[in-house]
Amino acid sequence: MEVWWRQEGETICNRRKIFHFKVHDKGASFFARGTSSALLRKEAFIEGRWVSAASTFPVLDPATGEEIAKVSDCGTKEAQDAVNAAYKAFHPWKSHTAKERSILLRKWFDLINQHKEDLAKLITAESGKPMKESVGEMTYSASFLEWFSEEARRVYGDIVAPPAKDRKILLLKQPVGVASIITPWNFPSAMITRKVGAALAVGCTVVVKPAEDTPLSALALAELSVQAGIPPGVFNVVPCSREKTPAVGELLCTDPLVAKISFTGSTATGKILLRHAAGTVKRVSMELGGHAPFIVFDSADVDKAVAGAMASKFRNSGQTCVCSNRFLVQSGIHDAFMEKLAKAMDAQLKVGHGSEPTTTQGPLINTRAAEKVPHIADAVAQGAVIVRGGKRLGGSFMQPTLLSSVNTDMLCMQEETFGPLIPVVKFNTEQEALAIANASPVGLAGYFYSRDISQIWRVAEQMEVGMVGVNEGLISTTEASFGGLKQSGLGREGSKYGIDEYLEIKYMCLGGLSL
């Protein structure tokens, strides 16, 4: 592992590996300056207009602490204006034909692809994600608009055989109305298009509240929506600071003009929003916290399991909801797996600013996230051994860390770390592994490696998660449903099922017929 950091040069010796710190002078301003000025928007976007709020809040590069931009800090007034605009636009928008909505979404998709590099620079600037991953996110983000532009024309109702001869029974699918879209910082573009693509495809209108750390990507999408010809009021964006988020979020979840809420974020916040939504019994879909198990059985191909662990854990520096968090390795291959994983970390991981082409690990989103290092300290205090990493670096950076001799009582096995930490528990039997994997109140994703086909069926069916990766560490794709079990959320996104979250089914009985 190499580490690049923008401070005085220093060297840290960590067990067998030496970490070299070198001066690095690329900051977020490089990206902001290099991005098309038309895409670097700083105001709220309401009813097709760019609207300034009374105050602003800073957006920072998490790698350096540099200010990228000052963005309008919207309050409840702007949020209410956006809801009103979305409601006003809903009736004409739902009256567009499915084909017309499909064409506009396709134009939006094409524009995102045309500006993919600039949009990726914004993601790296505000989230710290390495450029290669940011470009990948933009491909992923655009794919949802493409997918739902096609699904828009495949929203079918039903004609049902009636019990009497004088009537016909029809089941119609209609858009629910205005949707509040509340999104996280770890995928600041894709989490918007995955929700908004489905909503707009069926005729809903939306108000997007992006995460306070990453509003620039949402505002850039708004700019491209204008260029695509999306009508005013159909897509609205209200950025706000951390301080104003509770009030804005409450309004978006309680206003009677809002019919639907879609949220991606922590389980704790999701529960608050559910309470808000209950007052007016709104439709809700939520993708909440994950604490994914990653099981390696004796029957696994160890090399493939190591590759899967690297891909699943270290994407976005471990800051994805489907990242593996609890690693369970069977005793027969435990030592071989640990040795090969440590070597892979040495060879493949480089910490640094996302602007560096060779960087694989950017910073955590902010210093609050980096303060989860106590997960490591707690594990070591209870007997875990640091095999690689183990230290917090300057600012929001953290060394990718591998722990052995971990037990299930440690904090890292009880709570989602959301960082580049691999804690490994050794187990003996399949039943033991499943018991540990399922002993969590959340169940978003899970992974396991095995070459025993009977074991594959048994384990896949018994894992209490909404998504299972079998001999695969990267499973997210537009075509497949995304969502979890237990306290990991409600509903599904993506796939043919994602569009149903924005539809109501209306029963129509046409009677008095002479047939």
Catalytic residue numbers, as ranges: 287, 321
Phi, psi of 87 (to 5 degrees): -65, -40
Report the candidate in 40, 66, 57 with the shortest Cα–Cα distance to residue 363. 66
Torsion of CA 56, 62, 67, 73, to 10 degrees: -10
The residue type found at 416 is: E
How far is the C-alpha of 104 from the C-alpha of 196, rounded, in Å?
13
User: What token pair was written down for 417?
Assistant: 């770390």
Report the candidate in 211, 202, 208, 190 with the shortest Cα–Cα distance to residue 265. 211
Report the candidate in 361, 364, 292 with the shortest Cα–Cα distance to residue 324. 292
How far is the C-alpha of 503 from the C-alpha of 491, rounded, in Å?
12
Q: H helices of 349-429, where? A: 367-370, 374-381, 411-414
Q: Residue 50 contacts by C-beta under 8 Å, 6 or more apart in sequence?
A: 41, 43, 44
Pair 351, 393: CB distance under 8 Å: yes
Residue identified by tokens 């082409």 is 357
Phi, psi of 286 (to 5 degrees): -140, 135
Q: Residue 281 contacts by C-beta under 8 Å, 6 or more apart in sequence?
A: none
Q: H helices of 237-392, where? A: 245-254, 267-278, 302-314, 334-348, 367-370, 374-381
Pair 373, 27: CB distance under 8 Å: no
Q: Residue 125 contacts by C-beta under 8 Å, 6 or more apart in sequence?
A: 28, 31, 32, 35, 61, 68, 216
How far is the C-alpha of 391 from the C-alpha of 14, rounded, in Å?
9
* DSSP three-state, residue 168: strand
Percent helix / strand / coil, the chain, rounded to 5: 40, 25, 35
Report the candidate in 19, 39, 125, 115 with the shortest Cα–Cα distance to residue 354. 125
- Helix 98-114, helix 190-202: angle, nearest 10: 160
How far is the C-alpha of 173 from the C-alpha of 489, rounded, in Å?
24
